[in-house]
Structure 1
Amino acid sequence: MNNNGISENSDDDRAYRFFSTASFKNLTVQIAFNSREKGIPTGAFDTPFNDPDARTLDTRSYLDVKYERALSAKTGLLARAYFDRYYYRGDYPYYSPYPTILLYREHSWGDWYGTEAKLTLKPGEKQTLTTGLEFRGNVKQRFRWQNVDPGPVDFDDQIRSEEGGLYVQDEVAVAKNLTLNLGVRRDQYETFGGNTNPRAAIIYRPAEQTTLKLLYGSAFRAPTVYELHYGSHANSDLDPEAISTYEIVLEQYTHGNLRLAGSAFLYRIADLVSVDTSTGLFENLDHVRAQGIELELEKRFKSGFRLRCSSSLQGARDAATDQPLTNSPSHLAKLNADLPIRGERLSAGVEVQYTSRRLTLAGDHAPGYAVANLTLLSRELAKGLEVSGSVYNLFDTRYADPGSEHHIQDTIEQDGRNFRLKLTWSF
């Protein structure tokens, strides 16, 4: 029934991508198509473990047209229009009852278009004012699920919605070494109403190679159509999730192309959407507080060799219980080294990532781990051709990530050593 806990031939992953961009004077046109089909090897969502019929398919395509020009020495204009299309299919087999398999299939379609206009003004030499309008029309938000074998369509519904935004930002150099940046954005959604988010920054340069930044911002995540209307826990009265961020950053450049940076941050997150066990519905329940520090070093050598390393310590806790969050590491570190072998024509890159242990839903811990990746990149192998080869998890490190509430497993083992060959042709 569970194949002794071994998943075989069910972790396949196939993706296709197409991207094209063309520019003429002030006009830029982009076209893209992406598709990914992925097997589900974990028995998630109560599906049978090791069933190759459990899989998902995502596709997205879009057309984006942008026009940008300077109207005068002090005025710039950007106008943009786009159309996007998205499709999702999920196949989920279930025992009905064991050993009979019933295949349940979900479909989601999304079509939307949008426009944007942005005006940049320079009223004076020390001031830059930016304002803009955005509109998005969700012309199709359709969800369908059915029992494929046997059974007819069980649910099929479609809605439409609209949303828009207005923003303004003012950047003023109040002194030679002091810049203020103030902004505000107002968004209006047909589904839940409006949301206003300010942001501010003070940038102080006490010396030519030293910069101190004080940053504040707020943002939100709108509840999705699935959370509002279509999910088994749907609740049409949800409010958006909200976050407020506070950050202080110090950057120091020294002789010899060395950059040092340090920052401290505090994030307050409110109204996180989760399932209320008493009602069985999505509700705005959780509040989270996250704080930490980060250090970064970057060194560029005359030979072209570049070294970057960073380390961050953070803590994320539930504001109501003061308990640490699951799947939230307290320490992250990264090392990147880029080495030119034959100038820009051939180079090598090494990346090492460290993640500390993380709390699981069962109250245990997924052990910390470090993985290394290696990439060789060849530019201009032929005219317009770029070739890269990468080895991920170079030393075949065994590690696992915490599972979610949709998994039986408390931790899920991740990929060992794997490879990728990439060809990019520009014309």
Structure 2
Amino acid sequence: MKWPRRFVFVLSVFCLPCAVRAAAEQNPPAEPGMAGEELLFQDIGSVFTASKFEQKVTRAPSRISIVTAEEIRQYGYRTMEDILKSLPGFYSTYDRNYAYSGVRGFSIPGDYDTKILLMVDGHRINENVYNSIFTDHAFILDLDLVERIEVVRGPGAALYGSNAFFGVINVITKSGRALQGPEVSGSVGSSATYQGRTSYGNRYANGMEVLLSGTYYDSKGEERLYFPEFDDPATNNGIARDMDGTSNGNLLAKAEFKDFVLTGAWVEMDKQVPTASYQTIFNDARNQTTDGRAYLDLSYLSSLSDTLRLSGRIAYDWYGYRGDYVYDFGEADGPVVNRDRSDGEWWTAEAYVTWDFFDNHRLVAGGEYRDTTEQSQDNYDIYGTYLDVESDIDTWGIFAQDSFSISESIAFNLGLRYDYSSQADETINPRTAVIFTPSDETSFKLMFGTAFRAPNAYELYYDDDGLSQKSNEDLQPETIASYEFIAEHQFDRHIRSAASVFYNDIDDLIVLTTDPADQLLVFDNVGTARAQGLELDLNGRWENGWSAAISYTYQHAENSEGDWLVNSPKHMAKLNVMFPLLAENLLSGGLEVQYLSERLTLGGERTDRSLVTNLTLLSRDLFAGLTLSVSVYNLFDDTFAYPVSDAHVQDSIAQQGRTFRLKFDFLL
């Protein structure tokens, strides 16, 4: 998709719901049908994503976390990265260009979050070149538009196919009724950071719902970043000045009517790169990346009878990337800007049925097809073209899952999916779970599942003719076999707990490495890896407005030689507390404390432990329609660093100190 076509896409995203709204207002009132996945909003104790139908969390064949819109607001979460790293078993890495999510001991430097499947209202967000999900400011949604987030740990390939390796995340957006009119929002923060949003939502007499929203974000970033690896007069004594800027814009349009939901979304992020990655010139402001993502999705959900329901969707997706990297080849003309470019376009069709039969069986069966229409990678500068690759990786899969009980306390979940890729051939992945609920307060789950992650176009075909990286078309899919036991108990109506023990066995792990023969980066299958661990968490919620969650995770991930994996903290402890300060919700607080133990770097060093505290004060209805919040992140200015990939000279990169944000929301 070229830039003019992108403008047409964005325009159509906004025009379509307006046209449908006009038609809806002319129709007589009717009772609303089951629009999209509206059922997800009914019960915070239920989850849809784990089995493709709504069920109690205690009956789901996975370890589940649910994040609500209220928690997003009360804790001052700015990005998906903020949300995920607050959850048991998750952690993050940031290399001053992109943010990456780790889960249960795995966040391999150089991997663009390919082992997590991220969806928005059931629509796959992983793009078709790098399979990245973008948990930073390149995420396709403004978090103010999120109703809830369902996080399903463990392999989900038996339902969702590739990328559902360590888990599946489904972000559920708000409907028009959540706004009931126009709303504006704005924020200002550290490092000259500004954000503004304008939204409109409504539900009409005939059941038609419309949500329209646009957001713009701009941040100058850190004015001065020091990298000791470049501490030399020739490289500005290691100081990157005014090199950390970020800007992005995103749009969302959503129309729901009866059994149909039409959604269009778009985002674009520009990010300066201060780290001189890929051997570029240090402290040159021309080093920057641009990532864009868009989709148009029409979904359908209808109850054909009391026991049979049909779901389907057809969608168009686009992804675009531009990277400008400045090199000095010693030519008389001086440094030159090398342009890296990727474009992806694809269509998706999906359909499945949910059928209740024999009183105690629920069958989910269906299929999915993704057709690639563009998958290109280019690299060039004024001296020539070093990469010009067009690939075409199409995939399809069929799946079936039976959830049934043999008594009031014993239930089974059996699932199987067959996937075919034009590049990686075929694979079959099962999932089995036995769920024992001796009482309404207690459940035990024993689970086994496998998953795969096919190598993506970037890993297979990227070769810039000896500049920094070469291709490996012999890559094989990486696979995982996972075993997990979960115990959950509700002590009373205020306090619940969960404990899980897991073991993951991975084969043909794909890792970005450096070939010692030519010092070029290359992706390779490096053999096996194993991870085992324990997750404990305790949650409480009381009528007086207090709520708290405390968790501890132990995880140990190692390669086939028994060596500790890079970027894998062994211990994580987290505390979240929401508390009232004034009556009538006039003022409340949200406190987060996150401890992570040391991590191993690629160079064999160990990063320092980190203890980060975040605090948000929130005032609702300061006056009619106005909500105001102030957040301080890394309250005690803890100093810590994250390991990074071989693309950097740095072994680890220091992270942000104390920052603040002041935010308002005003419902007109």
Report the alpha carbon displacement of residue 393 of structure 1 after superposing the two structures with TM. 1.4
Question: What is the aligned partner in structure 1 of residue 474 from structure 2?
Answer: 237
Q: Among 92, 101, 119, which residue is 2:353 paired with? A: 119
Question: What is the aligned partner in structure 1 of residue 489 from structure 2?
Answer: 252
Greater alpha carbon shift after TM alignment, 191-200 vs 1-10: 1-10
Evaluate the alpha carbon distance shift between residue 113 and residue 387 of structure 1 in structure 2; reply closer, same or farther with a 3 A threshold.
farther
Greater alpha carbon shift after TM alignment, 125-134 vs 268-277: 268-277
Task: Give, in whole Å, the separation in 2 of the partners of 1:379 and 1:234.
Answer: 54
1:206 aligns with 2:438: yes
Listed one character per residue, the Cα deviations across residues 143-190 of structure 1 (whole Å, up to 9, x for unaligned) are: 11111xx33444333232311111100000111101100001111101
Partner SS, residue 278 of structure 2: helix
1:195 aligns with 2:427: yes
Question: What is the aligned partner in structure 2 of residue 294 from structure 1?
Answer: 535
**Residues 21-420 of structure 1: matches in 2 within 5 Å?**
21-97=254-330, 100-147=334-381, 150-231=382-463, 232-274=469-511, 275=513, 277=515, 282-319=523-560, 321-340=561-580, 341=582, 343=584, 347-377=588-618, 388-420=629-661
Task: Give, in whole Å, the separation in 1 of the partners of 2:481 and 2:445.
Answer: 17
User: Conserved in 2, the CA contact under 8 Å of 1:227 and 1:233?
Assistant: no
User: Conserved in 2, the CA contact under 8 Å of 1:60 and 1:86?
Assistant: yes
Evaluate the alpha carbon distance shift between residue 191 and residue 310 of structure 1 in structure 2; reply closer, same or farther with a 3 A threshold.
same
**Size of the alignment, in residue pairs?**
424
Partner SS, residue 175 of structure 1: coil
Partner SS, residue 528 of structure 2: strand
Question: What is the aligned partner in structure 1 of residue 239 from structure 2?
Answer: 6
Greater alpha carbon shift after TM alignment, 270-279 vs 350-359: 270-279
Task: Give, in whole Å, the separation in 2 of the partners of 1:382 and 1:169.
Answer: 51
Task: Give, in whole Å, the separation in 2 of the partners of 1:107 and 1:422.
Answer: 36
Partner SS, residue 3 of structure 1: helix
Greater alpha carbon shift after TM alignment, 388-397 vs 303-312: 388-397
Any gaps of 5 or more consecutive residues in structure 2?
1-233, 464-468
Partner SS, residue 302 of structure 2: strand
Q: Which has the higher strand share?
A: 1
Task: Give, in whole Å, the separation in 2 of the partners of 1:425 and 1:59.
Answer: 29
Partner SS, residue 458 of structure 2: helix
Report the alpha carbon displacement of residue 124 of structure 1 after superposing the two structures with TM. 2.5
Listed one character per residue, the Cα deviations across residues 368-407 of structure 1 (whole Å, up to 9, x for unaligned) are: 0111112344556788876654332122211111232121
Greater alpha carbon shift after TM alignment, 377-386 vs 203-212: 377-386
User: Conserved in 1, the CA contact under 8 Å of 2:387 and 2:462?
Assistant: no
Work out which structure has the larger RCO, using CA pairs closer than 8 Å and 6 or more positions apart in sequence: 2
Evaluate the alpha carbon distance shift between residue 390 and residue 286 of structure 1 in structure 2; reply closer, same or farther with a 3 A threshold.
farther
Partner SS, residue 50 of structure 1: coil
Evaluate the alpha carbon distance shift between residue 86 and residue 253 of structure 1 in structure 2; reply closer, same or farther with a 3 A threshold.
same
Evaluate the alpha carbon distance shift between residue 254 and residue 413 of structure 1 in structure 2; reply closer, same or farther with a 3 A threshold.
same
Q: Percent identity of the aligned residues?
A: 38
Partner SS, residue 565 of structure 2: coil
User: Conserved in 1, the CA contact under 8 Å of 2:250 and 2:265?
Assistant: yes
Task: Give, in whole Å, the separation in 2 of the partners of 1:385 and 1:167.
Answer: 47
Task: Give, in whole Å, the separation in 2 of the partners of 1:426 and 1:84.
Answer: 32
Listed one character per residue, the Cα deviations across residues 278-331 of structure 1 (whole Å, up to 9, x for unaligned) are: 787533223110001111000111212110010011111012x11101111000
Task: Give, in whole Å, the separation in 2 of the partners of 1:40 and 1:327.
Answer: 21
Listed one character per residue, the Cα deviations across residues 338-387 of structure 1 (whole Å, up to 9, x for unaligned) are: 22455567543111111101112222210101111123445567888766
Task: Give, in whole Å, the separation in 1 of the partners of 2:443 and 2:298.
Answer: 37
Evaluate the alpha carbon distance shift between residue 287 and residue 347 of structure 1 in structure 2; reply closer, same or farther with a 3 A threshold.
same
Evaluate the alpha carbon distance shift between residue 221 and residue 134 of structure 1 in structure 2; reply closer, same or farther with a 3 A threshold.
same
Report the alpha carbon displacement of residue 64 of structure 1 after superposing the two structures with TM. 1.0
Partner SS, residue 508 of structure 2: strand
Greater alpha carbon shift after TM alignment, 107-116 vs 379-388: 379-388
Listed one character per residue, the Cα deviations across residues 109-133 of structure 1 (whole Å, up to 9, x for unaligned) are: 0011101101000013211000011
Q: CA RMSD in A?
A: 2.2
Report the alpha carbon displacement of residue 20 of structure 1 after superposing the two structures with TM. 2.3
Task: Give, in whole Å, the separation in 2 of the partners of 1:316 and 1:239.
Answer: 21
AA aligned to 1:245 is S
Task: Give, in whole Å, the separation in 1 of the partners of 2:291 and 2:585.
Answer: 36
Report the alpha carbon displacement of residue 256 of structure 1 after superposing the two structures with TM. 4.7
Partner SS, residue 365 of structure 1: coil
User: Conserved in 2, the CA contact under 8 Å of 1:69 and 1:76?
Assistant: yes
Partner SS, residue 327 of structure 1: coil
Partner SS, residue 612 of structure 2: strand
Report the alpha carbon displacement of residue 71 of structure 1 after superposing the two structures with TM. 0.3
Partner SS, residue 459 of structure 2: helix
User: Conserved in 2, the CA contact under 8 Å of 1:139 and 1:161?
Assistant: no
User: Conserved in 1, the CA contact under 8 Å of 2:323 and 2:339?
Assistant: yes
Task: Give, in whole Å, the separation in 2 of the partners of 1:167 and 1:425.
Answer: 45
Greater alpha carbon shift after TM alignment, 210-219 vs 382-391: 382-391
